[in-house]
Copies of this chain bind each other. A is one copy, B any other.
Amino acid sequence: MTPAKKSTLVLVAERAGVSTASVSRVLNGLPASDRVIESVRTAARDLGYVPDATARSLKVGKTEQIALAVADVGNPVYVAMMHEVSRVIAKDGYRLVLSSTGGAVQDEIDLLDGLNRGFADGLILSPLRVTDDLVARLRDSRLPIVIIGSLPDGVELDNVRADSVRGMGLAVKHLARQGRRHIAFVNGPVDTVPGAARLGGYLKAMAKRDLVIDPDAQVSASDFTFKAGLEAAEILLSRSTPDAIVCANDLLAVATMKVLAQRGLSVPGDVALVGMDDTDIAELANPSLTSVNLGSVARARAAAKLLLRRLNEPGAPVKQVVIEPSLTVRESSVHATEAVLS
């Protein structure tokens, strides 16, 4: 059927013996007489007609596409988000256009310029770093944008963020309750939004419990990746001997786990370990990794819904959503005996 021949609405109209307007109406479910409906339907079927998405977009001003830009497609947390966004918007008939910025602000700005060419109806952006320039561009974008992640105070844009300060609090509290006292911290780059927030959360939580804050027990990896985590963990363990380590994300945590193993330290026996993001790899890890769940999926879903809402009612008031964190306890942070008991 329809052997590779493109047929247009005009052809259908001719074959059905009606005007193009009638064809369009029938195909869009607008009222028409049974006779016309019937002839258009069969003509369309015979010709294997499929409406052209581009032409429709041009006329109605909608592309039915939503762009998603994330820093690092290699990070499972972004993959999970991508998946969820895709799922939610698909229900409303939107397609997902993926733009992986390398985490560079310039890429994101370029993307915004591109966005104004109108290849998508809206954008979901999760920037690692937020500069004034970026904020300015975001603010006067012609298209709706939802930000996943924190924004500077006073910036009024739809956004949804995690409460990573509370998240770090959960991690530290959990470890303290397990009797750990020397809780170290493997962070990502502190010049990123999440890096800064997580450091703040760590310091706050430690101070709150009167745990000693040792500069030697803090290290920040050059990136939120496994490889960077290996280097960071080496440095940390060469100058400090903690009985627990919190990591700013799961990749850093499994890297740390690996370095601990190489040094003959057992997890959780010698060192308890907690990751962050609660991605798939937390479950895969051996021992499985206790991780702070920052609600990545929930954030992605909220962002997608926020964007859909704005597309439907452009005038709606700006909405900022905060997703509450929780802690998923697994093997890496509880003594074997307890794990068996629980």
Contacts and interface: CB of A to CB of B under 8 A. Distances in A.
A73 B82 contact: yes
A5 B2 CA distance: 42
B83 A73 contact: yes
Contacts of A240: none
A270 interface: no
A113 interface: yes
A226 B282 CA distance: 12
Contacts of A100: 83, 86
A52 interface: yes
Interface string A233-260: 0000000000000000001001101100
A57 B52 CA distance: 11
B50 A58 contact: no
A89 to B, nearest CB: 11
Contacts of A258: 284, 286, 288
Nearest to A84: B73
A209 B64 CA distance: 56
Interface stretch (A14-22, A90-98, A146-154, A175-183): A90-98
B4 A284 contact: no
A257 B286 contact: yes
> Among the interface residues A64, A96, A255, which one has the most CB atoms of the partner chain B within 10 A?
A96
A99 interface: yes
Contacts of A99: 95-96
Contact of A79 (B52, B73, B251, B283): B73
A317 interface: no
B53 A118 contact: yes
Interface string A270-297: 0000000000110111101000000000
Given A95-B119, A96-B99, 15 more contacts: A2-B140, A6-B142, A51-B117, A53-B119, A54-B58, A54-B119, A73-B82, A73-B86, A83-B100, A226-B280, A255-B284, A257-B286, A281-B281, A284-B284, A284-B285
Interface of A: 1-6, 50-55, 57-58, 63-65, 73-74, 76, 79-80, 82-83, 86, 95-100, 113, 116-119, 140-142, 226, 251, 254-255, 257-258, 261, 280-281, 283-286, 288
Q: Which 9 A-B pairs have the closest CB atoms?
A: A53-B117, A53-B119, A54-B57, A54-B58, A50-B116, A73-B83, A96-B98, A254-B284, A98-B98
13 contacts: A1-B140, A5-B142, A50-B117, A65-B119, A73-B79, A73-B83, A74-B79, A76-B76, A86-B100, A96-B97, A96-B98, A226-B284, A257-B286
